[in-house]
């Protein structure tokens, strides 16, 4: 009887509720992948004049906003509300509550296409403060002070989004693109923080012969230089100081990544995609430094950060965490390898081709969009059955 009671006590929780609403990564990863696969080709079609639809206030602002506050934020929310359960040991939203959050996110995306702008703005502004407060409450209850800055960034992004909507409608005197640059800056900061934690850890876990000794002073200095450089770039306060700060951030992050032994991961696609994407982050900082000196356009740095770094890190984490949390091996099969290759090709075509051959800009844009879209369609084909079904090991989550 005692042994039976012990076995019952140690048994994993019995799964309950719809599988796709058990942890936040499931619906938000699906939503983000669908959005990424649909809106990039739509944007290119609008940009080239093949589609006459004109969103308010402008196609360019709509494209940039939805890539940040639609696509990237969905993945960040899904990741943080899933990781929050591990970090704090407390329950995170699931079932009807999680369903409400994903429905709120989805309604804003649909409203951006079909509804009056005021309706879109209200719906779009609602998600981040709710998620930020939920996440902050979890961290405070568990005394997990280390991750409180991540919750505060979510709340700060709410203010950035509000500023965007006000400026886009002429209610305040500010270039709305500055707000979108600020949002990209916050996303880059999140990526710097999380990459510094997970990339060395994942590398040493998969490659026991590799020893990585982190240097806290280097991590802090690289992050500080990145924050300073992005802040000066966003505000446009002093181009010379911004360029110097971004160049310093480029150098420090490059030294930091070299200490993570990126070349040792060449035979492990599920690892090298994270290293490759982080290298795009470093390259993006360097390109922004050059843009501040007037040598190239800022768009090249923005897309290095947006396509190569953010797209690459997101797909790297969306595959790895989805495999882990659905009880599957942490390996990359043929679909994952194709996904990783396509997102890197998309970044090369969008950034390096226009840099080296400006006359092929349109060709590079269309080809990059095709590679980007294909990467997310393959993700949906491979992962949708896993994300909407119970774990094969029968565990909850």
Rounded to an integer, the average pLDDT of 109-133 is: 96
Dist. CA 62–CA 155, nearest whole Å: 21
Torsion sign (Cα): 259, 260, 265, 269: negative
Average pLDDT on 62-78 reads 97
Has residue 94 got a pLDDT over 60?
yes
> Of 96-105, 169-178, 338-347, where does mean pLDDT reach its minimum?
169-178
pLDDT of residue 396: 82
Is 80 exceeded by the pLDDT of residue 2? no
Is the pLDDT at 312 greater than 50, yes or no?
yes
- Give mean pLDDT, residues 91-100: 95
Mean pLDDT value of segment 58-77: 96
- Is residue 7 over pLDDT 70? no
How far apart CA 380 and CA 389 sit, in angstroms, is 14
Give the max Cα distance, the chain. 78
The pLDDT, as a whole number, for residue 3 is: 37
CA distance 12 to 395: 6
- Only one residue has tokens 């639809």, namely 53
Tell me the mean pLDDT in the region 233-250.
94
Average pLDDT score over the chain: 93
- Structure confidence at residue 55 (pLDDT): 85
Flag whether pLDDT at 313 surpasses 60.
Answer: yes
Asked if 161 and 179 touch (Cβ cutoff 8 Å), the reply is yes
Say what the pLDDT of residue 14 is.
Answer: 61
**pLDDT value for 56:** 79
57: cis peptide before it, omega within 30°?
Answer: yes
Q: pLDDT at residue 321 above 70? A: yes
pTM reported for the whole predicted model: 0.93
Under 8 Å between Cβ of 74 and 158: no
Closest CA to 81 of 123, 126, 14, 27: 27
pLDDT tens digits for 143-152? 999 999 999 9
Indicate the pLDDT class of residue 13, thresholds 50, 70 and 90: low
pLDDT tens per residue across span 246-301: 999 999 999 999 999 999 999 899 999 999 999 999 999 999 999 999 999 999 99
Rounded to whole angstroms, what are the CA distances from 102 to 70, 121, 144?
11, 17, 25
Least confident range from 11-15, 110-114, 210-214: namely: 11-15
What average pLDDT score do residues 63-70 get?
A: 97
Give pLDDT, residue 10: 46
* 298, 285 Cβ separation under 8 angstroms: no
- Grade residue 54 by pLDDT with cuts at 50, 70 and 90: confident
Q: pLDDT tens, 171-225?
A: 999 999 999 999 999 999 999 999 999 999 999 988 988 899 889 999 999 999 9
Sorted by where each begins, the domain ranges of the chain are 19-174, 197-389
What percent of the chain has a predicted confidence (pLDDT) above 90?
88
Task: List the single range of 16-25, 71-80, 328-337 with lowest mean pLDDT.
Answer: 16-25
Is the distance from CB of 136 to CB of 148 less than 8 angstroms? yes
Q: What is the pLDDT of residue 4?
A: 34
């Amino acid at each position: 009887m005692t042994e039976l009671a012990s076995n019952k006590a140690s048994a994993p929780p019995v799964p309950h509720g719809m599988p796709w609403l058990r942890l936040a990564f499931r619906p938000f990863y699906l939503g983000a992948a669908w959005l990424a696969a649909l809106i990039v080709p739509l944007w290119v079609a609008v940009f080239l004049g093949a589609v006459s639809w004109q969103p308010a206030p402008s196609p360019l602002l709509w494209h940039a906003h939805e890539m940040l506050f639609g696509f990237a934020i969905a993945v960040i929310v899904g990741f943080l509300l899933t990781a929050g359960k591990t970090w704090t040991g407390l329950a995170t939203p699931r079932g009807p509550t999680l369903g409400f959050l994903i429905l709120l996110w989805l309604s804003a995306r649909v409203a951006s296409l079909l509804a009056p702008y005021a309706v879109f703005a209200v719906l779009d502004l609602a998600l981040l403060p709710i998620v930020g407060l939920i996440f902050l409450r979890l961290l405070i209850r568990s005394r997990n002070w280390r991750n409180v800055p991540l919750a505060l960034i979510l709340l700060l992004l709410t203010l950035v989004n509000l500023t965007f909507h006000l400026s886009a409608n002429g209610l305040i005197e500010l270039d709305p693109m500055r707000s979108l640059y600020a949002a990209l800056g916050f996303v880059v900061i999140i990526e710097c923080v999380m990459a510094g934690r997970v990339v060395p850890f994942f590398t040493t876990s998969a490659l026991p012969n590799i020893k990585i000794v982190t240097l806290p002073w280097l991590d802090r200095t690289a992050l500080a230089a990145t924050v300073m450089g992005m802040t000066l770039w966003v505000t446009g306060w002093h181009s010379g100081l911004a360029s110097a700060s971004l160049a310093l951030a480029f150098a420090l992050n490059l030294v930091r990544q070299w200490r993570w032994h990126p070349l040792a991961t060449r035979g492990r696609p599920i690892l090298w995609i994270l290293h490759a994407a982080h290298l795009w982050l470093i390259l993006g900082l360097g390109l922004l430094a050059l843009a501040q000196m007037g040598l190239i356009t800022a768009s090249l740095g923005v897309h290095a950060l947006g396509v190569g770094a953010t797209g690459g890190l997101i797909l790297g984490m969306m595959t790895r965490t989805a495999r882990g949390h659905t009880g599957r091996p942490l390996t990359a099969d043929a679909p994952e390898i194709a996904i990783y290759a396509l997102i890197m090709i998309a970044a090369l075509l969008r950034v390096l081709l226009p840099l080296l051959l400006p006359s092929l800009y349109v060709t590079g844009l269309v080809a990059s969009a095709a590679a980007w879209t294909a990467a997310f369609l393959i993700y949906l084909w491979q992962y949708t059955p896993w994300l909407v079904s119970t774990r094969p090991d029968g565990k909850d989550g």
